[in-house]
Structure 1
Amino acid sequence: MSGTESVFRETSAEPRTEAVPFSHLSLELGHLYMEDFAEGPSRLRRHFAAVRPWADAARTVLGPPHSGRRPRISTCFLIDDYFSRLSTPAELIPPLLETAAAAGLTIDYLARESGCAGPLRGDSAHRDRADLAECVLHRLVESPPPGSTGFRQPVSRTGWLSNGRRAPAQRTSAALESTGAVWQPPSETGARGHSVFMDVELWSGHEEERTWSCAFLAAVWQLVRLGLLRDKGRAVLTPTPWDDEKFPADWDALPPVLRLNPRAAPFTAYVTCSVLPTRFLPVEHAVRVILDQVQVEAGAFTQVAERCAAEDFSLPAGVVDRTYYVFPPGL
């Protein structure tokens, strides 16, 4: 068939990718469990005293953008209200903010970890949105290891995601021993010299009642801070301004992300830096395995690239390379 064919497409079939504002850096000042808060004010004082010098260093390392303007930096803090709720926002948040301020730190944005799981707030404008964690799960594209035959079940069924080839499952029996079957070790895809293989559990429980893992929710948290998540083209977990001195007694009455500082730079940023206790190191390794296999919506990815180019701000091409960490000793 020759000639030019005209293709007609409904405008509604191409949802517009909503734009979000960007800082240069999103600096996370902590991620604590309810058990940490239960230790009392001294635990918070130790935390922010240890975080302060590293937070200052992270700001300095970023340096000014090529435009010569002052870099836009926003701070955030993530509270775990997903795995346990030993206290209420009214009891927990005020001393948290006061202790941070006493250490010379300002928390611009406060987020709830349950917000990374979903569902998003059930108001009329958002009622048709899916759970945020489910949206990210559907965007996972497993990297097939060399020599893979596709025999392995997909992550959407198993709930496990690896960064390479797992060791083959074999039964130990006299029959197999007689065939000379040899054990094969797991291997990391793209390993440099030796493998550091990791298999990450994304959730536990049945599909109808999943409990998402800390690593998977932390990966969602990073994608939200990087401004790379959309739901049918719309921005997700946009911060809600909060100027009320009183906090509710119920976590579900609190928006997923609060903007506490009205003069704060944007919540989403080109790069992220998280100052975390050392116990989070294996979790964040798992986060990087997950981020390396997430297919980001093209419109969101393009928007970030265009913004950076306009500001002459150098940005790594890979999503995982836009996340940085500091693990202070003794934190």
Structure 2
Amino acid sequence: MRDAQAYSEATEQPRIAPVPLSHLSIEVGHFYLNDITGDPERVQAEFRRIVPLVAAFAESARVEYGPGARVSTCYLIDDYFQPDTDPAEILRKLLNAADAAGLTIDYLARESGCWQTSPFADGVPSGEAIPIAEMVAARIVAEPAPPETGRRPPTVESGWLCNGRRSSEHEKAMAMRDRSYQPPEEFGRREHSIFLDVQLWSKQVVAGRTETKWSCPFLAAVWHLLRLGMLRYHGAPVVVPQQWRGEPWPRRWHEVPPVVQLRPGAAPFAAYKTLSMLPKRYIGIEHAVRLVLDHLDLDDDVVEQVVAAGAADEIPVAVSRKISERLSHLLLDGS
């Protein structure tokens, strides 16, 4: 991991550019890439089931924020773990299924864009790659378990983050001294612990070089930060949605912009709050996401900017400074 100082902008004092914000960003399901290519009829059926749910939550937003409530929809493609697939085939089948089901997807995003991305201008990559995942990892503040024994490396070295004190099961007993087993313990628990230990990344050697492989929960946490408009690079948004004008899709994922705006005139991609409609199998990942978000030291200027934007909106929005409180989920059966 790079040092957190590599991403510090405190001495430069750059202008923090605002991002346009909707009231609500709705994530409309998630499928493995093999599902999209191998069973598009099931994808279409699931999208058809989601259509009335989107309408219901959009109406709920209008009740809360008024008839002018801004609601956008998005879908995340998990190309990070299957980079050798054909985006042209996958996106064609996905969007055809959405159209057939009557589901409007305003924004399409790539999971690998939560790892790193190059700025796009006029639909093509330009400029240096932005190490988004490393930026977020550098802002993790783990909670040390007192007394800290030093037996387990810190998160920045180990790639693991937990919400409490780990068990003593894997700690070697000191020479000539017995140690009794100590179970894991959640910090801030009420009566009993719900202990969670999440792997954020792993290291692997590729062509003689050590590379970081980011975990699905960590990339999902970055995805939520993008949807909430919380990330900047030298004061500028790390991604800016690119308009899609119906041109053929590229055959390589890195040639697809990190966030593509599919519908002209759509409400902004980022929002004060997010709702993710996901299969129940993602409940563990979303639990891990909340843990990661609760351990981030986010840029205070960005937090204050979003809070102020909510207060100044046409219908004021109370934006929580605790980022995980701006997330909500709808877990779907049978998908």
Q: TM-score, normalised by structure 1?
A: 0.88
Partner of 1:17: 16
Partner of 2:271: 269
Work out whether residues 129 and 231 of structure 1, in 8 Å CA contact, stay in contact via their aligned partners in 2. Answer: no
Q: Which structure has the bigger radius of gyration?
A: 1
Map 1:163-242 to 2 at 5 A: 163-168=163-168, 169-171=170-172, 175-176=176-177, 179=178, 181-206=179-204, 208-242=210-244
Unaligned runs of 5+ in 1: 1-10
Partner of 1:115: 113
Whole-angstrom CA distance in 2 between matches of 1:173 and 1:21? 57
Work out whether residues 65 and 313 of structure 1, in 8 Å CA contact, stay in contact via their aligned partners in 2. Answer: no
Identify if the C-alpha distance between structure 1 residues 75 and 150 changes in structure 2 by more than 3 Å, giving closer, same or farther.
Answer: farther
Partner of 1:62: 61
Give the CA deviation at 1:130: 3.6
Aligned length: 316
Aligned-partner residue type, residue 131 of structure 1 = P
Map 1:1-331 to 2 at 5 A: 13-65=12-64, 68-85=66-83, 87-121=85-119, 127-128=127-128, 130-145=130-145, 147-149=146-148, 151=150, 152-168=152-168, 169-171=170-172, 175-176=176-177, 179=178, 181-206=179-204, 208-311=210-313, 312-331=316-335
RMSD (Å), alpha carbons: 2.4
Identify if the C-alpha distance between structure 1 residues 119 and 258 changes in structure 2 by more than 3 Å, giving closer, same or farther.
Answer: closer
Deviations along 1:26-79, whole A, 9 cap, x unmatched?
A: 10012322122233212212321232233233223334345x342100000001
Give the CA deviation at 1:126: 6.0
Whole-angstrom CA distance in 1 between matches of 2:164 and 2:47? 37
Whole-angstrom CA distance in 2 between matches of 1:122 and 1:95? 25
Identify if the C-alpha distance between structure 1 residues 101 and 192 changes in structure 2 by more than 3 Å, giving closer, same or farther.
Answer: farther
Aligned-partner residue type, residue 24 of structure 1 = H
Secondary structure of the 1:327 match is strand
Whole-angstrom CA distance in 1 between matches of 2:320 and 2:149? 31
Work out whether residues 219 and 291 of structure 1, in 8 Å CA contact, stay in contact via their aligned partners in 2. Answer: yes
Whole-angstrom CA distance in 2 between matches of 1:150 and 1:321? 33
Whole-angstrom CA distance in 2 between matches of 1:87 and 1:42? 20
Give the CA deviation at 1:219: 0.3
Give the CA deviation at 1:318: 0.9
Whole-angstrom CA distance in 2 between matches of 1:119 and 1:259? 16
Aligned-partner residue type, residue 328 of structure 1 = L
Whole-angstrom CA distance in 1 between matches of 2:199 and 2:18? 32
Work out whether residues 51 and 328 of structure 1, in 8 Å CA contact, stay in contact via their aligned partners in 2. Answer: no
Work out whether residues 16 and 232 of structure 2, in 8 Å CA contact, stay in contact via their aligned partners in 1. Answer: yes
Aligned-partner residue type, residue 320 of structure 2 = P
Unaligned runs of 5+ in 2: 1-9
Identify if the C-alpha distance between structure 1 residues 244 and 191 changes in structure 2 by more than 3 Å, giving closer, same or farther.
Answer: same
Q: TM-score, normalised by structure 2?
A: 0.87
Identify if the C-alpha distance between structure 1 residues 121 and 13 changes in structure 2 by more than 3 Å, giving closer, same or farther.
Answer: closer
Secondary structure of the 1:227 match is coil
Whole-angstrom CA distance in 2 between matches of 1:150 and 1:175? 18
Aligned-partner residue type, residue 43 of structure 1 = R
Identify if the C-alpha distance between structure 1 residues 326 and 251 changes in structure 2 by more than 3 Å, giving closer, same or farther.
Answer: same
Give the CA deviation at 1:172: 6.8
Secondary structure of the 2:142 match is coil
Aligned-partner residue type, residue 293 of structure 1 = H
Give the CA deviation at 1:115: 0.6
Identify if the C-alpha distance between structure 1 residues 31 and 120 changes in structure 2 by more than 3 Å, giving closer, same or farther.
Answer: farther
Identify if the C-alpha distance between structure 1 residues 280 and 85 changes in structure 2 by more than 3 Å, giving closer, same or farther.
Answer: same
Identify if the C-alpha distance between structure 1 residues 191 and 99 changes in structure 2 by more than 3 Å, giving closer, same or farther.
Answer: same
Secondary structure of the 2:20 match is coil
Whole-angstrom CA distance in 1 between matches of 2:175 and 2:149? 28
